[in-house]
Amino acid sequence: MQLASYKINEHNQALLPAHERAFNYLSAEIPHAAHIMQQLTDFQVAIPSWALGTGGTRFGRFPGGGEPRSLEEKINDVGLLHQLNQSSGAISLHIPWDVPDNPAHIKAVAAQHGLRFDAMNSNTFQDQPGQALSYKFGSLQHVSKDVRKQAIEHNIAVIEQGIALGSDVLSVWLSDGSCFPGQLNFRQAFQNTLESLQEIYAALPDNWKIFVEYKAAEPNFYSTTVGDWGQSLLFANKLGPKAYSLVDLGHHLPNANIEQIVSLLLMEGKLGGFHFNDSKFGDDDLTVGSIKPYQLFLIFNELVEGMDARNMTHHTDLAWMIDASHNVKDPLEDLLQSVEAIMISYAQALLVDRKKLYAAQQANDVVTAQEVLQQAFRTDVRPLVAAARLQAGGALQPLALFRSEKIREQLIRERGSKVMATGL
Ligand SMILES: [Mn+2]
């Protein structure tokens, strides 16, 4: 479904006087408000195809109804989000959960919503029906050359599907590792993985990138073959200039300084992509900014500073994606909250007085350095984010409009209450 555009206009008109009061108050304090609004408008966050249904844990899944039954319906859902917030202009597909059987048709459906295809995600962490060999003991790291070959061929097939859709990134997350001491020879597992990735790398078109995502633990609990940013960077450096590390916020050990990792990967020119979520304990896949909003701001602060230091274009030079799972919320509402949290943190990072911060750092003025960062973090930038959305044709309050238009109820009527989207 699509929302009639007059509905967005009516919603905006009703909220306009209050919005303008708040925006005028805030923008009077920000000398470069118009420039920040343009940066916010340009910034698009990809929605993964697996986040549109209700997620579960290994203990259960409780679908809320109206979930997309097909790839077309998933694209429609992302189109709806984009219509509301004008910041979700891309979709990231997971193969084989969302194989585009007819790529020309799928491309056309996406184009109707103004969406492009972000990174393609391969999957060698599950066995699929009819699959010849099992990934129980890993895929690209596997002791058997035949298993490795099967996993390599899957990744190359994903690249080919991505080419047909106009994507230009293969994102690889491996669950490879071990559950018990002695199970793996670490060096052999690394070398097998490297050789497998080299074969995949050789199949990348010239304009493509490959992202190597790392994760500290789960599903393997003793070792993970791409377990942290050091291992990911080793692979990316050994593979070559088209290979990059990918940072997923939930894939670190507790209290890891993710903003420092981001800063150094950017310095090395090896940060390729970013997966947003939030967590309390591990890879919880919670709504972005719901647990640690200050950390999210600090990460954005380093992203902005590090990208500017290398003259990178914020919205195109890194791949931005949400990677979350929604077990108790409406997935679309959760995604609206996540995108809003990302835009708020990005706007706050753009507000940081960099000259003042640099001067404080050079003078070892720790107090002023903290004040500079917290001045930006404690600024309520929501009217600025809303103004950018309004200017782009979105809704002043996407979540409120989603609810008042009873969009989920409409989707349940259209698709039924007992449907379960593909994904985890
Ligand atoms: Mn991820």
What single-letter DSSP state applies at residue 363? T
pLDDT of residue 262: 98
Are the C-beta atoms of 282 and 238 separated by less than 8 Å? no
Q: How far apart are CA 128 and CA 343, in angstroms?
A: 37
Residue 288 CA to ligand 1 center (angstroms) comes to 13
- Residue range 135-190, pLDDT digits in tens: 999 999 999 999 999 999 999 999 999 999 999 999 999 999 999 999 999 999 99
| pLDDT of 327 above 90 | no
DSSP 71-113: HHHHHHHHHHHHHHHS---EEEEETTTT--SSHHHHHHHHHHT
Query: For 251-267, what is the mean pLDDT?
Result: 97
Name every residue whose Cβ is closer than 8 Å to that of residue 320 and which is 6 or more positions away in sequence. 43, 44, 45, 46, 273, 274, 276, 342
| CA nearest neighbour of 225 among 296, 176, 172, 273 | 176
Distance (Å) from CA 215 to ligand 1 centroid: 8
Which region, left, alpha or beta, applies to residue 34 given φ > 0 means left and ψ of -120 to 50 means alpha?
A: alpha
Q: Please check whether residue 269 is in contact with residue 236, taking contact to mean a CB–CB distance below 8 angstroms.
A: no
Beta bridge partners of 243: 210
Q: Identify the three-state secondary structure at position 23.
A: helix
Percentage of the chain modeled with pLDDT above 70: 100
Question: What's the pLDDT band for 412 if we cut at 50, 70, 90?
Answer: very high
SS (H, E, C) 48-82: EHHHCCCCEECCEECCCCCCCCCHHHHHHHHHHHH
CA of 3 to the centre of ligand 1 (A): 30
CA of 248 to the centre of ligand 1 (A): 5
Give me the pLDDT at residue 410, please. 97
* Ligand 1 centroid, distance to 180 Cα (angstroms): 24
Q: Identify the three-state secondary structure at position 116.
A: strand
C-alpha span between 245 and 95 (Å, rounded): 20
- Is-contact 332 402, C-beta < 8 A? yes
| 299 conformational bin, left if phi > 0, alpha if psi -120 to 50, beta if neither | alpha
Distance from the CA of 17 to the center of ligand 1, in angstroms? 40
Cα 210 to ligand 1 centroid, rounded to whole Å: 14
CA–CA separation, 335 and 92 (whole Å): 14
Strands 169-173 and 209-213: parallel
Share of the chain above pLDDT 90, in %: 94
Q: What is the pLDDT of residue 62?
A: 85
> What separation in Å is there between the alpha carbon of 275 and the centre of ligand 1?
5
The pLDDT score that the predictor gives to residue 226 is 98
d(CA 78, CA 350): 27
Q: How confident is the model at residue 63 (pLDDT cuts 50, 70, 90)?
A: confident
Q: What are phi and psi of 322, to 5 degrees?
A: -90, 135
Contacts of residue 19, Cβ cutoff 8 Å, sequence gap at least 6: 383, 386, 387, 390, 396
Q: pLDDT band for 264, please (50, 70, 90 cuts).
A: very high
CA 323–ligand 1 middle distance (angstroms): 5
Residues 6 or more apart whose Cβ sits within 8 Å of residue 196: 139, 140, 141, 148, 151, 152
Identify the weakest region by mean pLDDT among 54-58, 218-222, 371-375.
54-58
- pLDDT score at 424: 66
This prediction's pTM: 0.97
Q: 164: burial class by Cβ within 10 Å (0-12, 13-18, 19+)?
A: middle
Q: What DSSP element (H or E) covers 177? A: strand 177-178
Tokens 């990302």: give the residue: 342
- Please give the distance, rounded to the nearest whole angstrom, from the Cα atom of residue 51 to the centre of ligand 1: 11
Q: What is the pLDDT of residues 361-380, one digit of tens each?
A: 999 999 999 999 999 999 99
Q: Which two tokens stand for residue 47?
A: 């929605």
Residue 137 pairs in a beta bridge with none
Of 173, 127, 116, 119, nearest to 150 (Cα)? 127
The one-letter code for the residue type at 315 is: H
Task: Find the 253 Cα to ligand 1 centroid distance in Å.
Answer: 15
Cα(308) to centroid(ligand 1), Å? 25
Lowest-pLDDT choice from 58-62, 249-253, 299-303, 388-392: 58-62
CB within 8 A of 370, min separation 6: which ones? none
Q: Output the CA–CA distances (angstroms, integers) from residue 309 to 101, 150, 357, in the order listed.
A: 42, 41, 15
